[in-house]
């Protein structure tokens, strides 16, 4: 009994110590489990990198490494361009470089207007074409030796929207007057001349005190005579370029907006309509100078008359040959006819003279028939 009590006392004294150590071990195990769980959570949070992302990281790394090399290349390129410019300036002592040409520009007082009041008559595709033609006019006027006073009137609607969407830099264009008003609101009527191919008036010279209007219409000839009608309604002078006096074309005489614009710029520089037309007109128009066209037509006529003369000579020779051969042919015809008559006579006699045996048999048959017939003319057996 005493031993049991001592054991119980010892075990009761050891219980608190044992429980403390058990609690410590339990806490350590929990902390280890938490750290492992956190690590596992971190591992699950990081997604695996794809090949494309790896390539991007590699390229970015290479880009960073080659930054200094790129700077050095840019410096070398700038130095090389400076040397090229210096050499060009030294070689272009005759004044052929672009900056010197721009200094020699003489601005013309002629006003050239593109009338954009036909916006409602065009579809979006044609509006885009008109926009490109206006861009071409602006670029050519900026490069010209004698640039005109360029006006863009009645600007709005589909055209303005298309320019805002596809060419936002138009608001910074220089040497151009873009106005939403109609041209008749700020230019005197007596100064206006509408350029239209339907006009009976033909331009001979350009008056630089006038304002020439080009219809901004791309309609593929759907609205014939519209610009001429508008000019007549407004009481404005109208005229057409002297295209027919210098050029013969396979197609119609209606030109694009930029072609008319460029022809006027070229004429202001050269003062020669024919040179202006053949410098600007595209090859698809099949333009030929009128003098060459007349020469070719006269040559064709001469060739046709020469062929007619040759044909007449040959026909005369054939007629003479026929006349020479005609008496001989007549003799042959007479001989052939005589031979045919001689040969035909015995044939006719033979055909009309039957043989004697046939005639006797026919007579006997007639007698038999007469005997068998009754007196009243009816056949026997009836």
Residue burial 27-64, b: 16+ Cβ < 10 Å; e: rest = eeeeeeeeeeeeeeeeeeeeeeeeeeeeeeeeeeeeee
Active-site residue identified among 167, 191, 219, 237? 219
Instruction: Give SS3 for 278.
Output: helix
Q: What is the C-alpha to C-alpha distance for residues 253 and 247, in angstroms, rounded to an integer? A: 10
For the chain, how many residues are written? 382
Q: What is the C-alpha to C-alpha distance for residues 248 and 245, in angstroms, rounded to an integer? A: 8
The tokens for 172 are 């910074």
Question: Quick check: is 362 catalytic?
Answer: no
Strand partners, 149: 111
Q: What DSSP letter does each residue of 213-246 carry, written as one string?
A: EEE----TTSSTTHHHHHHHHHT-EEEB-SHHHH
CA dihedral (346, 349, 351, 354) in degrees, to 10, reads: -130
Residues annotated as part of the active site = 219
């Amino acid at each position: 009994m005493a031993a049991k009590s001592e054991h119980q006392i010892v075990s009761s004294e050891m219980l608190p110590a044992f429980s403390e150590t058990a609690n410590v071990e339990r806490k350590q195990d929990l902390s280890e489990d938490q750290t492992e769980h956190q690590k596992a959570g971190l591992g699950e949070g990081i997604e695996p990198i794809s090949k494309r992302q790896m390539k991007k990281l590699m390229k970015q790394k290479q880009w960073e490494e080659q930054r200094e090399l790129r700077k050095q290349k840019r410096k070398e390129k700038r130095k090389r361009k400076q040397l090229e410019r210096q050499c060009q300036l030294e070689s272009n002592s005759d004044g052929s470089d672009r900056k010197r040409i721009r200094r020699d520009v003489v601005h013309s007082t002629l006003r050239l207007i593109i009338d954009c009041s036909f916006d409602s008559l065009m579809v979006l595709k044609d509006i885009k074409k008109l926009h490109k033609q206006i861009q071409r006019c602006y670029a050519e006027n900026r490069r010209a030796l004698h640039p005109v006073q360029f006006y863009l009137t009645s600007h709005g609607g589909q055209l303005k929207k298309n320019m805002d969407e596809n060419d936002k830099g138009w608001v910074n264009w220089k040497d151009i007057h873009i106005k939403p008003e109609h041209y008749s609101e700020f230019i005197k009527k007596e100064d206006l001349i509408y350029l239209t191919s339907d006009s009976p008036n033909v331009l001979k010279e350009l008056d630089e005190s006038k304002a020439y209007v080009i219809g901004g219409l791309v309609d593929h000839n759907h609205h014939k005579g519209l610009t001429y009608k508008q000019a007549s309604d407004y009481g404005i002078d109208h005229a057409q370029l002297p295209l027919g006096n210098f050029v013969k074309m396979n197609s119609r005489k209606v030109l694009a907006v930029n072609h008319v614009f460029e022809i006027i710029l070229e004429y202001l520089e050269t003062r020669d309509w024919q040179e202006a037309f053949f410098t600007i007109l595209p090859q698809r128009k099949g333009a030929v100078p009128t003098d060459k066209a007349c020469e070719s037509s006269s040559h064709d006529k001469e060739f046709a008359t020469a062929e007619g003369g040759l044909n007449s000579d040959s026909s005369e020779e054939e007629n003479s040959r026929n006349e020479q051969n005609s008496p001989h042919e007549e003799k042959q015809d007479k001989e052939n006819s005589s031979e045919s008559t001689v040969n035909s006579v015995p044939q006719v006699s033979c055909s009309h003279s039957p043989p004697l045996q046939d005639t006797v048999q026919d007579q006997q048959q007639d007698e038999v028939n007469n005997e068998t017939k009754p007196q009243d003319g009816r056949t026997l057996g009836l």
